[in-house]
């Protein structure tokens, strides 16, 4: 599998320069928020409404739940989408393999990272995430919905590593499996969404929120590399994997690892899939085991 460190992020200043150039990138707006309130029946965050209120000029809205995931079920809350349908969405957004893509969200980075990972997994060679998202953009916004020229991107899954439940369980024993959720969910102190709290036995707590500064931008690559090394993930020949609740914040940790120069596999089903199967073991407390 190819290392996913092919310039994984882009600054707002760099993006402004690229947009003013002769071959501007395709822009994808993927605003989304994990809503605990939604799990309780309250209305979820409306990413499309946020997009329509103002977005980067030329950006096309992508719906994480509808376009970047299949129906929720036994495979988790955000399982992989139908690949052909995903490809069609990307082509409608103007994505082609020979044109750069830049993805952004409201600033948290999770949804943008999921899009980045999906495009990388399906073989797109040049995808970057706007570091800090819309929150750090100082340029103009627009409300018009663009009609881009259709792209030609044809997804070819398998370009980067993917884990299933059995693979994640094995990696927790033979390599380093990082749990990107909040530490209290890892320990099992609370579980606001899934059937049971805790973590995959052998997994190491590594909240992805600790990979960014207060403004949502990633810490410097050297700091990230040092953090991951302290957690047992230094790259090289040692395999590294990541999971979270449903393969969204985990993608953000995979992106942070890429910034640090470390290749990592994503367990897309994550805790929402693992915990739904009562036959799978659950560890609690701060100890990985």
Rounded to whole angstroms, the Cα distance separating 5 from 259 reads 6
Rg (CA), the chain: 18
Catalytic-residue membership of 244: yes
Q: Which of 279, 273, 87 is nearest to 163 (CA)?
A: 273
Rounded to whole angstroms, the Cα distance separating 26 from 7 reads 16
| Both structure tokens of 220 | 């410097």
Pick the catalytic residue from 102, 103, 244, 262.
244
CA angle 28, 34, 37 (to 5 degrees): 140
Rounded to whole angstroms, the Cα distance separating 65 from 86 reads 12
Q: How large is the angle between the packed helices 249-259 and 110-121, nearest 10 degrees?
A: 70
> Which residues lie below 8 Å from residue 277, measured CB to CB, with a gap of 6+?
74, 165
Distance separating the N- and C-terminal Cα atoms of the chain: 29
Instruction: Look at residue 163 and give its three-state secondary structure.
Output: strand
Strands laid side by side in the 26-29 sheet: 9-10, 127-130, 101-104, 26-29, 60-61
Residue 232 main-chain phi, psi, to 5 deg: 100, 5
Q: Which residues are catalytic?
A: 244
């Amino acid at each position: 599998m190819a290392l996913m460190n092919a310039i994984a992020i882009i600054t707002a200043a760099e993006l402004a320069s690229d947009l003013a150039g002769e071959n501007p990138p395709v822009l994808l707006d993927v605003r989304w928020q994990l809503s605990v309130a939604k799990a309780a029946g309250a209305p979820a965050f409306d990413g499309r409404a946020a997009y329509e209120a103002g977005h980067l000029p030329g950006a096309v809205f992508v719906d994480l739940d509808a376009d970047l995931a299949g129906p929720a079920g036994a495979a988790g809350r955000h399982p992989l989408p139908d690949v052909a349908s995903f490809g069609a969405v990307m082509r409608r957004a103007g994505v082609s393999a020979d044109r750069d893509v830049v993805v952004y969200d409201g600033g948290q980075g999770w949804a943008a990272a999921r899009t980045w990972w999906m495009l990388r997994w399906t073989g797109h060679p040049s995808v970057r995430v706007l570091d800090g998202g819309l929150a750090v953009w100082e340029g103009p916004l627009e409300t018009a919905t663009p009609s881009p020229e259709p792209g030609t991107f044809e997804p070819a899954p398998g370009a980067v590593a993917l884990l299933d439940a059995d693979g994640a369980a094995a990696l927790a024993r033979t390599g380093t499996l990082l749990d990107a959720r909040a530490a209290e969910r890892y320990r099992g102190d609370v579980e606001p969404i899934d059937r049971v709290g805790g973590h995959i036995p052998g997994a190491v707590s590594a909240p992805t929120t600790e990979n960014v500064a207060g403004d949502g931008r990633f810490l410097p690559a050297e700091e990230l590399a040092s953090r991951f090394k302290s957690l047992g993930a230094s790259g090289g020949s040692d395999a590294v994997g990541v999971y979270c609740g449903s393969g969204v914040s985990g993608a953000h940790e995979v992106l942070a690892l890429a910034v640090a120069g470390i290749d990592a596999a994503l367990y897309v089903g994550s805790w929402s899939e693992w915990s739904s199967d009562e036959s799978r073991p659950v560890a609690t407390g701060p100890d990985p085991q």
